[in-house]
Structure 1
Amino acid sequence: MTTNKRGSEALIETMMNHGIHYVFGIPGAKVDQLFEDLQYSTDPNAPQLVITRHEQNAAFMAAGIGRLTGQPGVVAVTSGPGASNLATGLVTATSEGDPVIALGGQVKRDDLARLTHQSIKSQELLAPTTKFSTEVQDANALSETFANAYQTAIAPKAGATFISLPQDVLSETTDRPVMKAPVPVNQGIPTENQLQELASQIKRAKLPVILAGMRASDDETTAGIRRLLQQVHLPVVETFQGAGIISHELEDDYFGRVGLFHNQTGDLLLKKSDLVIAVGYDPVEYEARNWNQDRTGQIINLDSIDPELTVDYQPDMMMTGNMGATLTALAAQFDSSFSLNQSATDYLTTLREKRDAEDVPPVITDSTRVHPLALVSELQNCITDEMTVTVDVGSHYIWMARHFRSYEPRHLLFSNGMQTLGVALPWAISAALVRPNTQIVSISGDGGFLFSGQELETAVRLNLNIVHIIWNDGHYDMVKFQEETKYGRSAGVDFGGVDFVQYAESFGATGLRVTNEDDLAAVLAEAFQTEGPVIVDVPVDYSENSQLSQTLLDDQFY
């Protein structure tokens, strides 16, 4: 039996059926019916409306939900600039595999062909940034459209979807039943013969290596990798978005992360390996031309999607399906007698020592500024496995990705596809909502922080326990040191200073400042003991950043 209801009410009921808990966004005339019905819903299961200070940040928050939970986050905005401001957030989500459903208000259907107030072709505008972009022309289609957007957003490779909502469609009456909760789509696993062949290749290889990518970081695939490693210890290299796949117990199998510059311990291992098993690897994280060019050896591609093929990435075996179940079945192909040969074991021991040595902070030369490794080391002392750390883009992102250890998947977040400035604080807000009983840490540079710093008010309003640490050096330094490497000088990277302590206090948050490396531990301890959002301003010493892009692949490790 059907009951007549407004289109916006049918849309909200569909969200509830699909397990949507939050809607992030900013209201406007073309979408206010949806906001009214969300705000004043009497259903305890209705999504919580979280008002933000910018549509781009609302999209980041929705993407944060997507990455943390694997289920789409939802963002709702008004027409015109409201919708166009979504573009950066949606392209970041689609590039980096984060499921999002974006809802954009639109002028009334009668005005769609007119040059009227806030009328833009948002469906067409956002199509290149999403997997699926459409406009609803009838209220009876709202529920079905949302259900299909949901399914498309989570289907491998996950990403963003967009639905344009004409104002009169939201207020129009619908008598069609709303869509039920979706049925999970389960992928299969390879045949027994294929598993035996994969196991045989690993057993024959002199130095097999697992390259764990972004799609390997879901709970099921991570569990599969860990089960395989408990049965047969293989060296693992993580991409930045694969951070946390290797647990404390398996740390001897961890050989760092790769990304951006081809000069890490993991690069050495991939170069020497005669068999790379790429699990959930996406080239947007670290293109194969960076790690597979001039390399000798085979590649096995295990993923939930077919790989993008290039001259530098032509796998010798491709297995597409349920990665977690496949890895669990693969583990059964080995018994306790299997181990790597002595030559490989000796090499890995040497490489492990090199990896650990690179994490040691140098002796202090300038006590008024903190060396990145000292800051990473102190953060490591403060942060437990259940805490979530979100990292913005900048020089700090390189230092954190290379040296900060994380032992649970999707607890150390990077923007590695688009390298989008401003994601850290919005992601931290999402993490604080879905992981409410844990401490959340957010990290940015002084440049990137002001891309989304206004959301500090959102964090204060929601009373979230977020410690946001600003690595302060007075430049867009990730650009600066690369320009200096290429041209011998930099251009367009300097800006004025901001008193971030006063900035924090003006929003009702706590502001703390580190004045030298000696008081870093005490200030961080105070930040972690303080309720509500905290901003910590840390003067950072980036004098060694020029070394980040230098080639460090010594012949002795080949």
Structure 2
Amino acid sequence: MADKNYTASDLVIDTLKNNGVEYIFGIPGAKIDYLFNSLKDGGPELIVARHEQNAAMMAQGIGRLTGQPGVAIVTSGPGVSNLTTGLLTATSEGDPVLAIGGQVKRQDLLRLTHQSVDNASLLKSSTKYSEEVQDPESLSEVMTNAIRTATVGKNGASFISVPQDVISSEVESRAISLSQKPNLGVPSENDINEVIEAIENAKFPVLLTGMRSSSHNETQAIRKLVEKTNLPVVETFQGAGVISRELENHFFGRVGLFRNQVGDELLRKSDLVLTIGYDPIEYEASNWNKELDTKIINIDEVQAEISNHMQPVKELIGNIAGTIDIISDKVNAPFINSSDLDELEKLRATTLEKTAIKPTHKDGILHPLEIIDSMQKVLTDDTTVSVDVGSHYIWLARKFRSYNPRHLLFSNGMQTLGVALPWAISAALVRPNTQIVSVSGDGGFLFSGQELETAVRKNLNIIQLIWNDGKYNMVEFQEKMKYQRSAGVDFGAVDYVKYAESFGAKGLRVTNQQELEAAIKEGYETEGPVLIDIPVNYEDNEELSSTMLPDVLN
């Protein structure tokens, strides 16, 4: 191929390379196809998606799993507007994403013409950073600052709008090298000592680990602290996997959605809660500190959002892992003694007895606890499980144990339907030697089910479980609790086995636990994606909520 002049699209690709980007998710179009054309000459691997929202959610999956921005590139007009939900989900849930959208030529920006939209304004409320580039020479500068913004503080999405004549322009600038993330410091020795003294003086201290506690370094630091201090731990949904198998007796469940779990009772009884990487979008403090009688110490990269129920007496803002490591190194004896641990076990047993649900077995249809039991038997600790939103999400968040951070993935901030399969695709790309399981309801699955073709095309080893009941059941059971009837939750049947086969995937249907376990094992042994249709019995959903405190209906 003959040498070509260096263009803005080359500048974009080189900037992505310099930042270690391996995958781009997107859909081409006339306003951005110059960039797609340049990608053919070398660059990150392009994964063509079937919808821009799914491309954004695949990018979000990369961000959550790696801590580095996932990248989505789309065309103008509806291509950009379709990014909104994915970018909003990433920003709300703290996952770094860089999205680039095509735009009309600069001369057409101020008049009504084909696909002329104020892209930057459109996506400003869904992102941490949203700007349009007018000067092609500044593209690498803008991208670098967008990446830094996406990965500093609470991570989130950045968006860059690029007019058609900008991306195709020749440039003299060259790509800025790797954007280094600023190193965060640790609190002073005096601050550390005050926190240790507060924990030592507390009668019942508890750790609440949130979304920013679940990356590798933070998880290792928390495990070291728990091992040395015997502190009990409650996880948020996005904090799942912080506590290892070896520390199982210190784990007191996850909190989210409904205030009626073991973790809620533990937090209610605590006189001092140490929040680590906690974000209120996961589970507002009004849910776990409603009585307003709990002291809070906040350890995080970003300062707390103050509310009536979240008023920390002390905040240690900086490097989370480094801060916790210093606390661990300065602790000389456990904060919780063996008699206190015995009392905690009694609390666990009492609360579990009050909230216990025994599965109602029906032939030919599986109870949620039966499905979870089978999953727990067959899946390994290295399996990544991405979970869509629906009734299954509540059951899995409460009952499915995960012992590695960011291996059980929830959309807890936005509760966005359709995330499971796009995230599973991302996980299969960055964790190629492990098994990936995507769990959806039959409602949420068809929000992004077309990406099954993407998984087939890339020959990704993904097992897609569909909990099938023919309804938007998470809405249905809450409506029944409020109004004694449901509305707008029914839809028609789909043959998901044939659906899978039409895309070139393997489709299986099961009717009992033995068949489910055999199907999952078959999925492990099959090259490429496998879909398993599971008829589910949600009769106990209302019982799931029957012991709720009166303040917790969503």
TM-score by length of 1: 0.96
Task: State the AA in 2 paired with 1:285.
Answer: E
Tell whether the 8 Å contact from 1:368 to 1:517 is kept in structure 2 after alignment. no
Equivalent residue in structure 1 for 2:177, among 173, 176, 180: 180
CA distance in 1: counterparts of 2:334 and 2:251, whole angstroms: 19
Give yes or no for the alignment of 1:416 onto 2:412.
yes
Equivalent residue in structure 2 for 1:240, among 237, 252, 256: 237
Task: State the AA in 2 paired with 1:161.
Answer: S
Tell whether the 8 Å contact from 1:13 to 1:178 is kept in structure 2 after alignment. yes
State the match for 2:445 in structure 1.
449
State the match for 1:111 in structure 2.
108
State the match for 2:38 in structure 1.
37
CA distance in 2: counterparts of 1:359 and 1:313, whole angstroms: 27
Q: 1:358-395: per-residue Cα shift (whole Å, max 9, x none)?
A: 99873553122111011111101111121110000000
Task: State the AA in 1 paired with 2:133.
Answer: V
Tell whether the 8 Å contact from 1:24 to 1:75 is kept in structure 2 after alignment. yes
Equivalent residue in structure 2 for 1:93, among 69, 75, 90: 90
Q: Please give the residue correspondences for 1:424-503 in structure 2 after superposition, counting only pairs within 5 Å.
A: 424-503=420-499
Tell whether the 8 Å contact from 1:206 to 1:340 is kept in structure 2 after alignment. no
SS in 1 for 2:273: strand
Q: 1:426-457: per-residue Cα shift (whole Å, max 9, x none)?
A: 00000000001110000000000000000000
Q: 1:380-414: per-residue Cα shift (whole Å, max 9, x none)?
A: 11111211100000000000001111111111100
CA distance in 2: counterparts of 1:288 and 1:364, whole angstroms: 34
SS in 1 for 2:24: strand
Deviates more, 1:296-305 or 1:485-494: 296-305
Give yes or no for the alignment of 1:309 onto 2:309.
no
Tell whether the 8 Å contact from 1:247 to 1:407 is kept in structure 2 after alignment. yes
CA distance in 2: counterparts of 1:202 and 1:404, whole angstroms: 30
Q: Please give the residue correspondences for 1:124-273 in structure 2 after superposition, counting only pairs within 5 Å.
A: 124-273=121-270
SS in 2 for 1:386: coil
Q: CA deviation at 1:344?
A: 2.8
Q: CA deviation at 1:351?
A: 3.0
Tell whether the 8 Å contact from 1:474 to 1:494 is kept in structure 2 after alignment. yes
Q: CA deviation at 1:276?
A: 0.1
Q: CA deviation at 1:319?
A: 1.1
Give yes or no for the alignment of 1:374 onto 2:379.
no
Tell whether the 8 Å contact from 2:292 to 2:309 is kept in structure 1 after alignment. no
SS in 1 for 2:20: coil
CA distance in 1: counterparts of 2:203 and 2:517, whole angstroms: 44
Tell whether the 8 Å contact from 2:151 to 2:181 is kept in structure 1 after alignment. no
Give yes or no for the alignment of 1:350 onto 2:350.
no
Unaligned runs of 5+ in 1: none
CA distance in 1: counterparts of 2:190 and 2:547, whole angstroms: 42
Tell whether the 8 Å contact from 1:298 to 1:315 is kept in structure 2 after alignment. yes
Q: CA RMSD for the aligned pairs?
A: 1.6
Give yes or no for the alignment of 1:546 onto 2:547.
no
CA distance in 2: counterparts of 1:465 and 1:355, whole angstroms: 39
Give yes or no for the alignment of 1:386 onto 2:377.
no
SS in 1 for 2:308: coil
Flag as ranges the 4+ runs of structure 1 deviating above 6 A. 355-361
Tell whether the 8 Å contact from 2:27 to 2:48 is kept in structure 1 after alignment. yes
State the match for 1:54 in structure 2.
51
State the match for 1:23 in structure 2.
24
Tell whether the 8 Å contact from 1:261 to 1:548 is kept in structure 2 after alignment. no
Tell whether the 8 Å contact from 2:210 to 2:238 is kept in structure 1 after alignment. yes
Q: CA deviation at 1:553?
A: 6.3
Q: 1:258-279: per-residue Cα shift (whole Å, max 9, x none)?
A: 0010011000000000110000
Q: CA deviation at 1:522?
A: 2.0
Q: CA deviation at 1:549?
A: 2.6
CA distance in 2: counterparts of 1:454 and 1:183, whole angstroms: 37
Task: State the AA in 2 paired with 1:117.
Answer: H
Q: 1:472-523: per-residue Cα shift (whole Å, max 9, x none)?
A: 0110000000000000000000000000000000000000001234422222
SS in 2 for 1:79: coil
Tell whether the 8 Å contact from 1:206 to 1:341 is kept in structure 2 after alignment. no
Tell whether the 8 Å contact from 1:387 to 1:440 is kept in structure 2 after alignment. yes
Q: CA deviation at 1:552?
A: 4.6
Q: Cα distance 1:359–1:407, how it changes in 2: closer, same or farther (>3 A)?
A: farther
Q: Cα distance 1:355–1:520, how it changes in 2: closer, same or farther (>3 A)?
A: farther
Q: CA deviation at 1:245?
A: 0.4
CA distance in 1: counterparts of 2:177 and 2:324, whole angstroms: 32
SS in 1 for 2:330: coil
Q: Cα distance 1:355–1:325, how it changes in 2: closer, same or farther (>3 A)?
A: farther
CA distance in 2: counterparts of 1:378 and 1:355, whole angstroms: 24
Q: 1:83-138: per-residue Cα shift (whole Å, max 9, x none)?
A: 00000000000000000000000001111111111111111100110000000011
Task: State the AA in 1 paired with 2:323.
Answer: T
State the match for 2:330 in structure 1.
333
Equivalent residue in structure 2 for 1:529, among 506, 512, 525: 525
Task: State the AA in 1 paired with 2:20.
Answer: G
TM-score by length of 2: 0.96
Deviates more, 1:237-246 or 1:176-185: 176-185
Unaligned runs of 5+ in 2: none
SS in 2 for 1:313: coil
Q: Cα distance 1:144–1:515, how it changes in 2: closer, same or farther (>3 A)?
A: same
Q: CA deviation at 1:223?
A: 1.1
Tell whether the 8 Å contact from 2:88 to 2:127 is kept in structure 1 after alignment. yes
Tell whether the 8 Å contact from 1:511 to 1:535 is kept in structure 2 after alignment. yes
SS in 2 for 1:174: coil
- Report percent identity of matched pairs: 58
CA distance in 1: counterparts of 2:170 and 2:180, whole angstroms: 28
CA distance in 2: counterparts of 1:21 and 1:378, whole angstroms: 35
